[in-house]
Structure 1
């Protein structure tokens, strides 16, 4: 007879087993993660709109033509002060740097902290709500992925499944923000998962659809833009001009990403304390807002005006473009929290509009459709900065419903992606990680490589012999048929002096040189060794370069005290096993047969 307590204990185990062993159960969990992400998007957007109404008297700041009062220009400064002061306590409360979804999936197997995600989301809402020129998408994806990671931890998912679920959380969040499920799904694939997988298609797609449905049910923005119809078909000449526009956007995006780091270095160079940097940035953004409020927040409201009849003359659009770019760079470089996703769409739209005006000035008959230029500019700059060509191509397709334009956008996105990858090598998110000292360029899982270190793989029962040990004594201590074929040679101070291959020593003894040959003459890899913190990939490189079958592991380069021994066969076997495991996870083979 099972008691009521036993039943309540078994239910979570059964549900967990369903999710872990059956693909359908995991897809259901992915849909739940996407729905929660959509709910968080609605909550974050509602909170930010409330701040905009309360502080500025208008829910869409960037659509204003002028501030109602010059004193409103000080609101970004107040937001910077609030962010800087709270940051002091946040750093004491959370001394460890928060991890974003890309870093979590690349290095930590999808493990994220809910506390970190809440803090990042709150800081992003304060930054955007007080008018800093940043977008909310960083908060959306952080909360969506953080909550998905929490779900995955509760269900004790495997590493590969956890990474997929984190991608589902981000996909649901972006799909909810733009009302575009395909865009959200491919955002999850390209940026958060780092690759396309047959197994991931169903859960990530389900999460994106659920995110859109839930956000609409709770009154979020829903559709990114009303679907528009293009006035004419694209000619080969138009396609050529649009590719040129893509190249311009690629170069502009690279310049913006570098400029953010330049602002950070400038603030560090003038010895401005970290808590005061956002206040300084807020003051500058406020001064720019006196010229045009279009520089405030993410630019959501102003973006729609680009497609209307009142988009403004070319000189006004150009000035707004430069001021908005400057405001975004200053906001991020001085410590405001947020992203460049929506800002890049607005900036790219203005670049497309300026490009249209420039071509029309020289020859009106050659100018592509103005709406097309704006859309291509939006997507091209977003590809350059965000780094998701397929997601941006689908955004253009879902916005217009025009399949030929989607194909052109795919071609432009490919060109932009190649230019940025070959000349710069990073998206904005991975560039920020690079500046902090990380070497990752995408969310592809390299965390297992860092976890598999020489210290974890080595054997610690290492046979040792001193450098002054006679050859005959060594032969007696280590027989030719000994299980230990490798012996570490140590110097007078106990430091590493080389590796001895036992058959080599016995061969020297058999040749009658026992009295003339020292162990030091037979030692291999006298100055080549591993250290415990070296990862498995680096260890493989050492074996290839040294062309030896074993290497000693020492505690540090100075003392060189031997702590272990690692063989090439063992390293390659573990490396191959892990690569095979990663391949099975990507192809979905782990689900075959309900495993």
Structure 2
């Protein structure tokens, strides 16, 4: 016991010394080393997360649910309650420890933090992501990619905050954590890299590429050391394109994948709206969603959990086309109920399932209708999976690479490229958003538009704000307010208390309502005319400030730090600071 106590101070000193040394290293080298270290940590976390999902599944389903849910002893019919029990556990834990209402979770929350908050993420995000092991293990229709991205990105952001890195470095480390998480969970380092660049960071700059690659490689090595390096899906028959004639069915499959992707995106939105409409307690909603999924699982147990066993089955032709087609719509419904109820989980694995079933049904139907021309093989199911992932997630590069990596066969690349291109184009034309960006638009965060000015995400309000400003006290008279605002070029006058704590603001449009009362002078004070306006923190990105200005049709907003006023920022300051 004494030895254990003496080790802790030594370990703390070692960490502090390592932190100090890290700050002395040049920026490029420091980021590369941090990327590798983050990849190792995230890889170990992903292995533990995967093991937690397996343990949770064995706890909730001691027997294979796909074997014993529909037929068997009478008590097996009660298995539809299992997803509800899992939802009740998740809802209760989230209510107790994550009670704050967050408009976003999973990948959209990381995207918003990277684009609008300079990569600042709450470490509690990672802990919340771990709850998805209960969701998936108890039969909820969700995947692990959203939670592991949360976990990896929050680890990267936490590490960067402890080292006091800049906003651009925090963003990069969050991207490294996301790449490492995807690489470790799916055994797909290339897919992890492009997921981070294409979805999380939204850019392919040279200075971001190397750290992200090293982080993904390190995580993948750790994952393969513990989990093995076998492809996620074992396929027996995959063919590539032998002639131009072979392109035709994949063009048609690309069209179908795009339409199903749009249906999937709309269904997820409807699911969120459905549960948002009814005033159930937040902790009860995941249980209600789980109960609905459990009832659906009585007839179609393949929709429960990730569904990777069923994906392997359709790849090898062990599911009939009409069943596969039915599973497409059943999985969309199950995923909408699970994620719409607020249960933590990702939409990547369901998209793979939906696309594989769609492609498998399409390929089998072709072989049935035109037996002399087409023979069923796994290429249709794999290309369909890539197509729905590309369309639903708006990530064509990621989709093609991950499908290639998780199958370990190059033959799928050409068919997948065709389906991915057509599906992504159709989804973009018809919907214009992905499952991720749609959630952000619903929360009032137009991240896609702000990414056109991605440089604004790297600069903070602290760097660009106007510091020499005029502020007033709540008891200042209307007459003095008008005199004060006429002597400054500020568009608003922040109202503060004696301790410089920001309270509200006074602007010209509000003052005009009281100009006729100017003669009463001291009867009207600042407290009477001040109004609440949007504000930003000093470490928020310029893109977040710009979003508030556009959304509220304002020219200037206050900047605060720990509740105290530190400056003002407007369009002029953003233009100077971001360009």
- Give me the TM-score of the superposition, normalised by structure 2: 0.76
For 1:260-319, what per-residue CA distance to the aligned partner results, in whole angstroms no more than 9, with x for missing partners?
22233333445444333222221221112111221110112211111224x222222222
- Pair 1:40 & 2:45 matched: yes
**3-state SS of paired residue (1:168):** helix
C-alpha contact (below 8 Å) 1:453/1:532 kept by paired residues: no
C-alpha contact (below 8 Å) 1:52/1:61 kept by paired residues: no
Residue of structure 2 in register with 1:120 after alignment: 129
Shift of 1:72: 1.8
C-alpha contact (below 8 Å) 1:540/1:572 kept by paired residues: no
For 1:128-170, what per-residue CA distance to the aligned partner results, in whole angstroms no more than 9, with x for missing partners?
1111111111111111111111111122222112111111111
**3-state SS of paired residue (1:396):** helix
Shift of 1:217: 2.1
- Pair 1:150 & 2:179 matched: no
C-alpha contact (below 8 Å) 2:127/2:151 kept by paired residues: yes
Residue in structure 2 matching 1:291, options 292, 299, 303: 299
For 1:14-71, what per-residue CA distance to the aligned partner results, in whole angstroms no more than 9, with x for missing partners?
22221xx24233212101111211111111111111111122114x756878576222
Quote the Cα distance in structure 1 between the aligned partners of 2:275 and 2:410. Answer: 46
Residue of structure 2 in register with 1:31 after alignment: 36
Shift of 1:350: 0.5
Further displaced range: 83-92 or 383-392: 83-92
- Pair 1:429 & 2:421 matched: no
**3-state SS of paired residue (1:420):** helix
Q: Which runs of 5+ in 2 are unaligned?
A: 1-9, 472-486, 494-505, 511-532, 537-543, 559-566
C-alpha contact (below 8 Å) 1:536/1:575 kept by paired residues: no
C-alpha contact (below 8 Å) 1:61/1:301 kept by paired residues: no
Quote the Cα distance in structure 2 between the aligned partners of 1:47 and 1:348. Answer: 26
Quote the Cα distance in structure 2 between the aligned partners of 1:189 and 1:341. Answer: 16
Residue of structure 2 in register with 1:575 after alignment: 575
Residue of structure 2 in register with 1:414 after alignment: 421
Residue of structure 1 in register with 2:502 after alignment: none
Considering only CA atoms, is the larger Rg found in Structure 1 or Structure 2?
1
C-alpha contact (below 8 Å) 2:315/2:356 kept by paired residues: no
Quote the Cα distance in structure 2 between the aligned partners of 1:321 and 1:341. Answer: 14
In the superposition, relative to structure 1, how do residues 416 and 442 fare at CA in structure 2: closer, same or farther (>3 Å)? farther
Quote the Cα distance in structure 2 between the aligned partners of 1:200 and 1:495. Answer: 42
Quote the Cα distance in structure 2 between the aligned partners of 1:282 and 1:288. Answer: 10
For 1:224-276, what per-residue CA distance to the aligned partner results, in whole angstroms no more than 9, with x for missing partners?
23476634543223223212211211211111221122233333445444333
Residue of structure 2 in register with 1:350 after alignment: 357
C-alpha contact (below 8 Å) 1:63/1:294 kept by paired residues: no
In the superposition, relative to structure 1, how do residues 64 and 13 fare at CA in structure 2: closer, same or farther (>3 Å)? farther
C-alpha contact (below 8 Å) 1:55/1:130 kept by paired residues: yes
In the superposition, relative to structure 1, how do residues 282 and 461 fare at CA in structure 2: closer, same or farther (>3 Å)? closer
Residue in structure 1 matching 2:206, options 198, 213, 225: 198
C-alpha contact (below 8 Å) 2:331/2:354 kept by paired residues: yes
Shift of 1:389: 0.9
C-alpha contact (below 8 Å) 2:254/2:418 kept by paired residues: no
Residue of structure 1 in register with 2:327 after alignment: 320
Residue of structure 1 in register with 2:248 after alignment: 240
- Pair 1:362 & 2:393 matched: no
Residue of structure 2 in register with 1:51 after alignment: 56
Residue of structure 2 in register with 1:469 after alignment: none
Residue in structure 2 matching 1:138, options 134, 146, 155: 146
